[in-house]
């Protein structure tokens, strides 16, 4: 049996150790994660959950995490950036950030980037600009990832660019809205959780997405896929700046590295699934049309002047970034 003298001595040692340590060593902090994506079986949500678990592991259990799927919290897809900046969320996958980060819409300028290599070069140039703007709003950019090329989908016939005329098309950003208007369509902005009901009620008649994204979610509600390659869709991995700044420099680096690793893996997984999902939808009756060079040139020629117009309407930084990107990708 342990003597009373020994128990007192042991208590004194433990107390002395604890008094010399900050409370954060022993207290756990909950980090709340969220994605704009509305399906738990989609790679986007699964990778966010995987990254959250890695954050908890790297922190040695000091941080616990809880991840919620898009639409499960009263946070619109377009307000994720703001919610992270305010601390309502701690970290997130953010896909509808351009209302809070206008310069972030640059990669979505239709027909600007012809290949994924063009896109990656552009993001290397753009990320410092985005990081600076996000920091002003209490947000730290950890990494970026992307969905494959965004193409055009319809409930009713869309097999040429002329078929866009008079259709109500769901879009995710202002540049795509402009593209639709130039071809006679009416753009409609909807968050991911709202798209399926809108298609079912004919509030929208089509949309812009990738097979690996919306094709997985809404393929059964759509009948046509016109594979005009508009843009690659950038996504952000973001964290509340105050929460991130509380971490030690070593842990900050580990979190950044974990986020970048997972973002790269998610980008690759989405790219690998693009052709597979498209083929499966085609086998189920989807009419898939690949435009020829003449149609791609027509689309580019009709929207090219908008690229500079857009940049000038956003900021001098956007003008500067676009000029650097056009030089880098020779566009």
- Asked whether the whole model's pTM tops 0.95, one would answer no
Whole-number Cα distances in Å, 47 to 50, 76, 93, 217, 250? 5, 21, 10, 17, 23
Residue 81 region, left (φ>0) first, then alpha (ψ -120 to 50), else beta?
A: alpha
C-alpha angle 210-258-64 in degrees, rounded to nearest 5: 105
Q: Which of 205, 214, 208, 213 is nearest to 227 (CA)?
A: 208
**SS3 per-residue string spanning 71-96:** CCCCCCHHHHHHHHHHCCCCEEEECC
Fold of 25-307: D-Maltodextrin-Binding Protein; domain 2 (3.40.190)
Task: Tally the C-alpha atoms within 13 A of residue 28's C-alpha that lie toward its C-beta.
Answer: 12
What is the signed CA dihedral for 159, 165, 167, 169, rounded to 10 degrees?
Answer: 80
Say what the pLDDT of residue 38 is: 84
> What are the residues whose beta carbons fall under 8 Å from the beta carbon of 130, sequence distance 6 or more?
101, 103, 104, 141, 236
Ranges of each domain in the chain: 25-307
Whether 217 contacts 170, CB under 8 Å: no
Per-residue pLDDT of the chain (331 residues; tens, 9 = 90+): 444 444 444 444 444 444 444 434 446 899 999 998 888 999 999 999 999 999 999 999 999 999 999 999 999 989 999 999 999 999 999 999 999 999 999 999 999 999 999 999 999 999 999 999 999 999 999 999 999 999 999 999 999 999 999 999 999 899 999 999 999 999 999 888 899 999 999 999 999 999 999 999 999 999 999 999 999 999 999 999 999 999 999 999 999 999 999 999 999 999 999 999 999 999 999 999 999 999 999 999 999 999 999 999 999 999 999 999 999 999 9
């Amino acid at each position: 049996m342990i003597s009373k003298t020994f128990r007192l001595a042991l208590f004194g040692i433990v107390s002395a150790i604890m008094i010399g340590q900050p409370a954060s060593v022993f207290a756990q902090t909950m980090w709340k994660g969220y994605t704009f994506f509305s399906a738990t079986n989609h790679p986007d949500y699964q990778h966010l959950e995987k990254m959250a678990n890695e954050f908890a592991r790297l922190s040695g259990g000091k941080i616990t995490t809880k991840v919620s799927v898009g639409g499960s919290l009263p946070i619109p897809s377009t307000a994720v950036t703001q919610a992270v900046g305010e601390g309502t969320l701690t970290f997130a996958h953010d896909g509808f950030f351009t209302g809070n980060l206008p310069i972030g819409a640059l990669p979505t300028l239709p027909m600007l980037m012809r290949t994924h290599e063009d896109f990656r070069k552009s993001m290397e140039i753009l990320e410092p600009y985005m990081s600076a703007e996000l920091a002003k709003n209490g947000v730290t950019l950890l990494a970026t990832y992307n969905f494959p090329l965004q193409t055009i989908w319809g409930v009713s016939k869309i097999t040429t660019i002329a078929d866009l005329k008079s259709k109500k098309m769901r879009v995710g950003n202002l540049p795509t809205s402009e593209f639709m208007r130039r071809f006679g369509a009416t753009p409609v902005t909807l968050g991911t959780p709202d798209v399926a009901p809108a298609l079912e009620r004919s509030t929208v008649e089509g949309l812009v997405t990738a097979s690996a994204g919306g094709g997985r979610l809404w393929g059964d509600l759509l009948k046509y896929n016109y594979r005009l390659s508009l843009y690659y869709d950038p996504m952000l991995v973001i964290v509340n700046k105050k929460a991130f700044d509380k971490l030690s420099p070593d842990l900050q680096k580990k979190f950044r590295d974990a986020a970048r690793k997972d973002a790269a893996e998610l980008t690759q997984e989405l790219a690998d699934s693009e052709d597979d999902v498209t083929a499966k939808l085609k086998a189920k009756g989807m009419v898939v049309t690949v435009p020829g060079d003449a149609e791609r040139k027509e689309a580019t020629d009709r929207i090219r002047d908008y690229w500079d117009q857009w940049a000038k309407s956003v900021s001098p930084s956007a003008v500067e970034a676009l000029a650097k990107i056009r030089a880098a990708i020779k566009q």
